[in-house]
Amino acid sequence: MSHGKVILVSVFSVALALGMSAGAFAQDAAYVGNTQCKICHNKKEEGEQWTKWKAEGHSKALETLKSDAAKAAAQKKGVTKPPAEAPECLKCHVTAYDAAAGKCPEKIKMEDGVQCESCHGAASAHAAEGKKFKSGDKTAKPAEKIAKADEKVCKTCHNEESPTWKADRYKLADGSSSGFDFKQAWAKIEHSNPAKKK
Ligand code: HEC
Ligand code: HEC
Ligand code: HEC
Ligand code: HEC
């Protein structure tokens, strides 16, 4: 049953022959980094998303891995490398860490921790569409080319695999508790656009 593989390989070589990169298959595959987002998403009257992110914990998640608390957490997990260099920690503390390659995509700086595209997905197609929109092309639809982040994406990192997970971190309305609660957690990092009343 090696059929599928043969087809995949031949499609890939056609792409290579045409001079396309593998990323060209998935329009949204390229990460652009938060400095690009800042250009269009930091107006006060639209919610200054970049400034808010810069002020909250996600942007400092690599720094956190250099703390004594991080060393203790790593030791407990049997991780021997310094946490800020350990794939076991970087997978949730920076954006799109590729353990096999031992690095992040080109435009992603590790020191920016968990940045915009950790939650909104790789956004090169969105940024390109945003540029068209800003230059007056009213047929451009940037909102259709970006992921609206949701609870599911949070839980790829906010789960029991986190060495600092506390099952009772959040108190719920019914008196029970939970390690993560989307509503309350979003309220802490909220960066909605006030101009768009929902
Ligand atoms: C060149 C400008 C530009 C850049 C760069 C840009 N955006 Fe946008 N983005 C827009 C515009 C314009 C809209 C508003 C579309 C609308 O209101 O319909 C938008 C909308 C959004 C939305 C809301 C979508 C929705 O469903 O309402 C998100 C989320 C978003 N951008 C995230 C990002 C992130 C993350 C980055 C960086 C990786 C980024 N944008 C880079 C122009 C840009
Ligand atoms: C790529 C992994 C990742 C994703 C995805 C992620 N987070 Fe986090 N989050 C972290 C890390 C790592 C920290 C710790 C940051 C620090 O202080 O160094 C954190 C911390 C937090 C905190 C502060 C601790 C707490 O629970 O009070 C909140 C709030 C939070 N995240 C909310 C969210 C929400 C809401 C989402 C989804 C929309 C989300 N996060 C998605 C990795 C992630
Ligand atoms: C599955 C994702 C995930 C992995 C893997 C992970 N972290 Fe975290 N880390 C988080 C999240 C999410 C938070 C926010 C607090 C929480 O909910 O645990 C966090 C917070 C922290 C904090 C801040 C403590 C606090 O309570 O706010 C430290 C220190 C830390 N992590 C160290 C590490 C170390 C060291 C490793 C590797 C051994 C690691 N983390 C691996 C997701 C992860
Ligand atoms: C930890 C996850 C997370 C990170 C990091 C994050 N966002 Fe978001 N973002 C969300 C969630 C969740 C929403 C709300 C989606 C909804 O309205 O249901 C959102 C909404 C938005 C919106 C839409 C606002 C609106 O009301 O129309 C924009 C624009 C946006 N984010 C841009 C950014 C930019 C730019 C960055 C980085 C500077 C960033 N986000 C970082 C999770 C995140």
Residue 149 alpha carbon to ligand 3 centre in Å: 20
Phi-psi sector, 124: left (phi>0), alpha (psi -120 to 50), beta: alpha
Instruction: Tell me how far apart the alpha carbons of residues 110 and 194 are, in angstroms, rounded to a whole number.
Output: 30
Read off the pLDDT of residues 119-154 as tens digits, 9 standing for 90 and up: 999 999 999 999 999 999 999 999 999 999 999 999
pLDDT-based confidence at residue 196 (cuts at 50, 70, 90): confident
Give CATH superfamily name and number for 31-157: Flavocytochrome C3; Chain A (1.10.1130.10)
Residue 21 alpha carbon to ligand 1 centre in Å: 25
Please name the residue whose Cα sits nearest to atom 17 of ligand 2.
57
Q: Which residue has the higher pLDDT, 196 or 86?
A: 86
The segment(s) of the chain belonging to CATH 1.10.1130.10 are 31-157
Q: Dihedral (C-alpha) 57, 63, 64, 70: value to the nearest 10 degrees?
A: 170
What does the pLDDT read at residue 17? Answer: 38
Threshold 0.95, pTM exceeds: no
Is residue 163 in contact with ligand 3, taking CB distance under 6 Å? Answer: yes
Please name the residue whose Cα sits nearest to atom 5 of ligand 4.
116
What does the pLDDT read at residue 142? Answer: 96
Query: 68: buried, middle or exposed (CB in 10 Å: 19+, 13-18, 0-12)?
Result: exposed
pLDDT-based confidence at residue 25 (cuts at 50, 70, 90): very low
Query: 144: buried, middle or exposed (CB in 10 Å: 19+, 13-18, 0-12)?
Result: exposed
